[in-house]
C-alpha cells in the first residue's frame, strides 16, 4: 500500500535518533528528550518510540501511550502491579501489551510511570509496573484513547536499537 505523502512521518534524522537513544530510559536520569514522539493521522494519532533494547522499546512505547493521555511527569511511582500480555508474534504482542495498559487505565484508572520488564519474548511480555491511580487534583486528562490499532504498525531494528510505530484510535 502506498503511503500518501502527507501522512508519512518524517523519519528521525540520525542526530535526533542518537539523542533519543542517549536519553534512553529518560525517566530516572531526568533527560529532557523523551524517547518517543507523536505522529499525525487524519482522524487519529500515533507515536514513534525508540529503545536500545526491545525491553526498553516496550517500556518507552507504554510511556508514549500514557503521555498521550496524561502528562507523564505528573505520575508518581507509588504502587507496583504486575502486567502480562500475550501475542502470536512480536508486533501483535506490542499491540496487546499497549491494549493491556489502556485497559488498566480505562477500567481501573491506573497510570504508570515506569516498568521493570521481567520477561519478554515474541509471545509474552511480563513486567512490574510502577504508578498510581488517577487523581483528578494532580492529573489532567489530555486525551481519551479508545483503542490500539494495527494500522501501519511497525516494530523493527533501527540503528543498533529498536523502533516502534503505533497508531491509536481516539
Partner 1 sequence: MQLSQLEKLDDYRWLIPRSTRAGMLTDALVYSDENLLENILNDLSLEQAMNVAMLPGIVGRSLAMPDVHQGYGFPIGGVAATMPDEGGVVSPGGVGFDINCGVRLLASTLVREEVQPKIRELVNQLFRDIPSGAGRGGSIKLTSKDLDRVMTEGAAWMVEQGYGEPEDLTHSEEGGAMDGADPAAVGDRPRKRGLPQLGTLGSGNHFLEVQYVERVFEPAIAREFGLQEEQIVVLIHSGSRGFGHQVCTDYLKDMDAAMRRYRINVPDRQLACVPVHSREGQAYLGAMRAAANFAWANRQGIAHFTRKAFERIFGQGARMRVVYDVCHNIAKLERHAVAGLDRKILVHRKGATRAFPRSRPEVPEAYKAVGQPVLIPGSMGTASYVLVGAEGALDETFGTTCHGAGRVMSRTAAKKSAFAQNARERLEGRGIIVRSETKDGISEEIPEAYKDVDAVVNVVHNAGLSKRVARLRPLGVIKG
Contact 111, 134 (CB under 8 A): yes
Residue 48 CA to residue 60 CA, distance in Å, equals: 9
Q: What are phi and psi of 59, to 5 degrees?
A: -65, -45
The verdict on 33 binding partner 1 (CB under 8 A) reads no
Site for partner 1 in 51-90 (CB under 8 A): 88
Contact 60, 35 (CB under 8 A): yes
The verdict on 12 binding partner 1 (CB under 8 A) reads no
Q: How far is the CB of 49 from partner 1 (least distance, A)?
A: 16
The verdict on 124 binding partner 1 (CB under 8 A) reads no
Instruction: Determine how β-strand 147-148 pairs with β-strand 124-133.
Output: unpaired
The verdict on 15 binding partner 1 (CB under 8 A) reads no
Residue numbers of the site for partner 1 (CB under 8 A)? 1-4, 6-7, 38, 40-45, 88, 92, 95-96, 99, 103, 106-109, 134, 136, 139-144, 146-151, 153, 167, 169-170
Amino acid at each position: 500500500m502506498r503511503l500518501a505523502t502527507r501522512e508519512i512521518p518524517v523519519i528521525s534524522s540520525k542526530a535526533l535518533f542518537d539523542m533519543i537513544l542517549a536519553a534512553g530510559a529518560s525517566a530516572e536520569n531526568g533527560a529532557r528528550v523523551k524517547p518517543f514522539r507523536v505522529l499525525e493521522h487524519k482522524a487519529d494519532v500515533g507515536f514513534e518510540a525508540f529503545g536500545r533494547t526491545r525491553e526498553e522499546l516496550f517500556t518507552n512505547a507504554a510511556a508514549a501511550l500514557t503521555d498521550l493521555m496524561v502528562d507523564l511527569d505528573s505520575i508518581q511511582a507509588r504502587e507496583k502491579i504486575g502486567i502480562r500480555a500475550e501475542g502470536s508474534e512480536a508486533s501483535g504482542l506490542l499491540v496487546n501489551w499497549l491494549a493491556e495498559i489502556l485497559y488498566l487505565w480505562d477500567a481501573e484508572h491506573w497510570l504508570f510511570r515506569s516498568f521493570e520488564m521481567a520477561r519478554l519474548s515474541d509471545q509474552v511480555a511480563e513486567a512490574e509496573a510502577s504508578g498510581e491511580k488517577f487523581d483528578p487534583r494532580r492529573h489532567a486528562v489530555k486525551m481519551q484513547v479508545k483503542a490500539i490499532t494495527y494500522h501501519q504498525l511497525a516494530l523493527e531494528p533501527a540503528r543498533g536499537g529498536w523502533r516502534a510505530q503505533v497508531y491509536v484510535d481516539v
